[in-house]
């Protein structure tokens, strides 16, 4: 506790540890941990996340914050033997953000704080390097101006570009002399005066207070909010602020800065990986101002620092029992560790590292399983450039392989442009010199990212790897002409909208649209023996086998065709949880038969139309039952309203009116010619079936009641197909699902009408086959009266798509128009059509499970909405004791992994 009984708001590094991330943020907690285990860390202190939240709530610092900052600053000055901003020998500090969860580049940092017109002279004298001092000062004015004073960064960048241009076309910032930098600093200060109407602040204590406030504010910056929303990080955490004594990598060629990973974050291989930049400060590496060197080149440049770095990397990986991402600076041959955290990695690297660390004994197999992110598993199946193209096509240029995977798209040059083009349905590649955090919204809408500058730890690379977006960085042969919206490379001119292909696995760039193909894991799953020799396949098998051993939930597929069913089974599906029969009515012959049924004037005509549909339906079911032989197949009887099989009401009415006005004998509707009299008949029927709200109209069980012959035909087709499989030696397991039931009586009457039709087929075919009858729970009323419905049901399957629509009153097709605003204003926690809304829809599900099981303990319950493939929703289904989830065939592995983790996590929690 601080004085007067207040909670302590500031901690020295030696007072914290890695378990204090909630209070000190990840960066502060890890700086404290590195200090405590004896690594060389510059001294400093951390203001807590609670201080930040108080500031954001009240708009002012919490009582006593700056008093505590002053106390800790005095201790820091005592440790360093220097005073902040002293004229003769100044202490300089960095002010860095640090939330509980890593948000690279999303919040703000200020370096070299404490410099002013007098202390820069003292720094020059003490360092014996006037150029270094003025370089540090111009950096400070630039960062402070942009971050603290909200001056557009381009103002400073343009001035810097002009200064470099005076030195020559290819000049770098390192070519600027001390006098150049002095003049540039004066120009920067003039920019501050013009933009703010005030002089640049020279009092170090005032600089520090303003910088802390700016970092607090950055928690609610647009890019930070967008990142949290994308990565499902709570807005209620706040950020800590770390005030750290500066060490300088820009003091000459015996100094430098870098980022190191203890393993390769792109491939997972156990090898040092990262970037190093001599004579630079840390922001230079991530900003892409200069192209970096490979980390391993440090061994030649500075062998002593390299060995110390390798030793520290080994200590940290063993201490954290994970791959570590490390920021470091070398100041005149002295190595300093500035930050560490468990490093972000690609989906591929995540699996390879977990497997290798288990094999090395660093972690257990179960811990390795829990480290895998099921939301990213699909990335392992991302396309790569088709092998034939890869061999014969010559790349136009090559950059750094920053984030794996291949991407094809049209070139755009701004983040806003990427977002706009993506909104139109275009696939885009965002091309930039380098990206900044302000580009985040466009980056996540792009198929791939291509930059002409920056290294493998630049902002573009870090974001791309985290979001699973292919990226090539540092392709320095590319010359971007922003005004012309074009770039040139290898003698070619590429305009906005032109097609390019990038390969983030090897860094190649092609100025054309190339075909893509499945990656090694996808081929391995499909049985490719060469692909099965690769490390990712071994990791995938080991952890998926463990997930399957641990999980209680079964995983089925939503599949409507034999091909889909076969694909799902190959991916590990344990049956079909939803076979939608409406998809079987597509095709000219089938639609014609359905229309004959709709237009039938007599029972005999309707029966004849249904009879023509029966063999077509039976053939579909035979293939599905064969693909899923020995596993349950849940067939949903026709659900959508009949008008969906007829022409659009408005289109048809307009076409008829036009034909009548022109005295034409035929009507054209969507390229189909219909005689005018027939078109009039169709229009009358369409108008008869037209509903104001068809989603809540004549569909599902209501359709079965109004058109009993339709469901009876489907049941006969299902059972006859099952009999065909039995006679062929198969073992079909048939579940017949009646949709949109709201009352017990609806299901009871349907069963009374349909079970005799099924029994007639079984008797006639002399086949013994148990049939299971159930319903979709997709209406709030059905959830509330589930106990009554369960008395006449063998199984329930939650149709969470419609249950979410009817519980929220949202249209799944229209929610996109306002969902972003709802999320921004925290009116919804997340898109309820992606992740189950636990308090609302989830509560309805819990009620239905409890009531149903209470009256019918043998009741089998699953879920077949799109939520069945969402990892968070799978965890919820495990918690409420569903028996299975059903999802798209391409999400089967994701659901299996999430179900295994849910069971393992629940077991671990229960044992504690």
Closest by CA position to 134, among listed 146, 116, 152 = 116
**Catalytic residue (choose from 324, 864, 877, 887):** 864
Phi and psi based region of residue 332 (left: phi greater than 0; alpha: psi -120 to 50; beta: remaining): left
Please enumerate, as own/partner, the contacts of 820-827 that have beta carbons within 8 Å and a separation of 24 or more: 823/229, 824/225, 824/229, 826/235
User: Which tokens belong to 883?
Assistant: 């028996």
**DSSP, res 744:** H
Of 364, 381, 405, 382, the closest CA to residue 542 belongs to 364
Residue that has been written with the tokens 């985290």 in this structure: 466
Q: What is the largest CA-CA distance in the chain?
A: 105
Residue of 459, 643, 860, 867 marked catalytic: 459
Could you give the CA distance from residue 331 to residue 345 in angstroms, rounded to a whole number? Answer: 29
Cα distance between residue 353 and residue 256, in whole Å: 29
Say what angle helices 204-218 and 49-58 make with each other, to 10 degrees: 80
Give the 3-state secondary structure of residue 719. helix
Q: How many CB atoms lie within 10 A of CB 832?
A: 25
Q: What are phi and psi of 555, to 5 degrees?
A: -125, 120
Return the sign of the alpha-carbon dihedral for residues 102, 104, 106, 111.
positive
Supply 643's token pair. Answer: 């008008």
Has 864 been annotated as catalytic? yes
Alpha-carbon span 437 to 459, nearest angstrom: 7
Whether 129 and 279 have beta carbons less than 8 Å apart is answered as: no
Using the structure block, give the residue that is written with the tokens 């007067």.
4
CB 645 within 8 A of CB 609: no
Between the CA atoms of 582, 584, 589 and 594, what dihedral angle is there, to the nearest 10 degrees? -30
Helix (H) or strand (E) run with residue 388 in it: helix 387-392
- To which residue do tokens 């159930």 refer? 774
> Cα separation of 282 and 292, whole Å?
12
Q: Is 262 helix (H, G, I), strand (E, B) or coil?
A: coil
Which tokens in the block code for residue 382?
A: 């991302």
DSSP state of 515: -
Q: Is there a catalytic annotation at residue 459? A: yes
Q: Are 411 and 498 in contact (CB under 8 A)?
A: yes
Q: Distance between CA atoms of 472 and 435, rounded to whole angstroms?
A: 12
Q: How far is CA 44 from CA 28, 71, 338, 867, in A?
A: 10, 12, 11, 47
Active site residues: 459, 864
């Amino acid at each position: 506790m601080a004085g007067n009984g207040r909670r302590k708001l500031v901690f020295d590094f030696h007072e914290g540890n890695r378990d204090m991330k909630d209070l000190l943020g990840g960066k502060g907690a890890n700086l404290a941990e590195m200090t405590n285990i004896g690594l060389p860390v510059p001294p400093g202190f951390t203001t807590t996340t609670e201080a930040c939240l108080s500031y954001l709530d009240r708009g002012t610092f919490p009582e006593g914050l700056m008093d505590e900052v002053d106390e800790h600053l005095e201790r820091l000055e005592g440790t360093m033997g220097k005073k902040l901003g002293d004229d003769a020998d100044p202490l300089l500090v960095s002010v860095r953000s640090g939330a509980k969860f890593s948000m690279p580049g999303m919040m703000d940092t200020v370096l070299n704080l404490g410099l002013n017109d007098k202390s820069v002279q003292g720094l020059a004298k003490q360092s014996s390097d006037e150029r270094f001092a003025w370089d540090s000062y111009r950096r400070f004015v630039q960062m402070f101006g942009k971050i603290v004073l909200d001056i557009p960064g381009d103002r400073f960048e343009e001035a810097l570009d002009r200064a470099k241009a005076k030195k020559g076309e290819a000049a770098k910032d390192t070519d600027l002399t001390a006098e150049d930098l002095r003049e540039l600093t004066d120009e920067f200060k003039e920019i501050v005066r013009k933009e703010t109407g005030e002089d640049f602040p020279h009092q170090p204590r005032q600089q520090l207070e303003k910088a802390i406030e700016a970092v607090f504010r950055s928690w609610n910056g647009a890019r930070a909010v967008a990142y949290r929303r994308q990565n499902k990080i709570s807005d209620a955490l706040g950020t800590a602020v770390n005030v750290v004594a500066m060490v300088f990598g820009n003091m000459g060629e015996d100094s430098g800065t870098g980022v190191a990973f203890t393993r390769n974050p792109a491939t997972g291989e156990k090898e040092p990986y990262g970037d190093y930049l001599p004579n630079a400060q840390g922001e230079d590496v991530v900003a892409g101002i200069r192209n970096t060197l490979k980390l391993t080149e440090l061994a030649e440049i500075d062998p002593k620092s390299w060995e110390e770095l390798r030793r520290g990397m080994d200590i940290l990986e063993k201490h954290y029992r994970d791959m570590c991402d490390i920021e470091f600076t070398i100041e005149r041959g002295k190595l300093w560790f500035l930050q560490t955290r468990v490093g972000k990695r690609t989906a591929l690297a995540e699996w390879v590292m977990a497997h290798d660390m288990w094999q090395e004994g660093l972690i257990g197999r179960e811990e390795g399983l829990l480290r895998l992110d099921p939301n990213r598993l699909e990335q392992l199946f991302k396309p790569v450039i088709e092998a034939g193209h890869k061999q014969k096509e010559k790349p136009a240029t090559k950059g750094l392989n920053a984030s794996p995977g291949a991407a094809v798209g049209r070139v755009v040059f701004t983040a806003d442009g990427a977002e706009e083009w993506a909104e139109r349905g275009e696939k885009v590649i965002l091309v930039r010199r380098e990206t900044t955090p302000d580009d985040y919204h466009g980056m996540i809408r792009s198929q791939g990212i291509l930059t002409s500058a920056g290294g493998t730890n630049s902002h573009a690379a870090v974001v791309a790897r985290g979001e699973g977006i292919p990226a090539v960085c540092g392709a320095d042969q590319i010359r971007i002409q922003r005004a012309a919206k074009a770039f040139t490379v290898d003698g070619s001119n590429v305009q906005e909208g032109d097609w390019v292909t990038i390969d983030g696995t090897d860094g190649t760039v092609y100025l054309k649209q190339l075909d893509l193909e499945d990656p090694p894991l996808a081929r391995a799953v499909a049985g490719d023996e060469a692909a099965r020799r690769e490390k990712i396949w071994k990791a995938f098998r080991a952890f998926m086998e463990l997930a399957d051993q641990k999980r209680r939930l079964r995983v089925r597929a939503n599949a409507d065709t034999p091909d889909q069913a076969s694909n799902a089974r190959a991916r590990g599906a344990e049956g079909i949880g939803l076979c939608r029969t409406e998809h079987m009515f597509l095709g000219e012959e089938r639609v014609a038969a359905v229309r004959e049924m709709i237009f039938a004037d007599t029972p005999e005509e309707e029966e004849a139309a249904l009879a023509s549909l029966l063999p077509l339906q039976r053939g579909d079911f035979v293939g599905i039952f064969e693909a899923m032989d020995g596993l349950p197949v849940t067939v949903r009887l026709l659900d959508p309203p009949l008008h969906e099989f007829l022409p659009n009401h408005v289109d048809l009415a307009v076409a008829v009116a036009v034909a009548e006005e022109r005295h034409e004998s035929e009507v054209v509707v969507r390229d189909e010619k219909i005689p005018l009299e027939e078109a009039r008949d169709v229009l009358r029927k369409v108008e008869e079936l037209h509903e104001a709200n068809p989603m809540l109209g004549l569909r599902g069980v209501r359709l079965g009641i109004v058109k009993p012959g339709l469901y009876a035909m489907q049941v006969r087709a299902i059972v006859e197909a099952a009999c065909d499989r039995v006679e062929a030696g198969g073992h079909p397991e048939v579940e017949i699902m009646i949709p949109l039931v709201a009352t017990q009586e609806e299901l009871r009457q349907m069963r009374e009408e349909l079970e005799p039709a099924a029994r007639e087929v079984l008797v006639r075919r002399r086949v013994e086959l148990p049939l299971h009858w159930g319903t979709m729970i997709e209406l709030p009323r059905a959830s509330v009266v589930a106990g009554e419905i369960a008395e006449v049901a063998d199984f329930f399957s939650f149709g969470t798509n419609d249950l979410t629509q009817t519980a929220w009153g949202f249209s799944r097709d229209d929610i996109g128009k306002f969902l972003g605003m709802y999320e921004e204003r925290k009116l919804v926690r997340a898109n309820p059509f992606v992740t189950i809304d636990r308090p609302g829809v989830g509560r309805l599900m819990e009620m239905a499970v409890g009531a149903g099981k209470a009256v019918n303990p043998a009741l089998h319950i699953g879920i077949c909405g799109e939520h069945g493939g969402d990892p968070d929703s799978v965890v919820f289904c495990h918690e409420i004791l569903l028996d299975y989830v059903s999802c798209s065939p391409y999400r089967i592995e994701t659901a299996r992994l999430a179900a295994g983790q849910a069971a393992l996590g629940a077991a671990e929690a229960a044992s504690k």
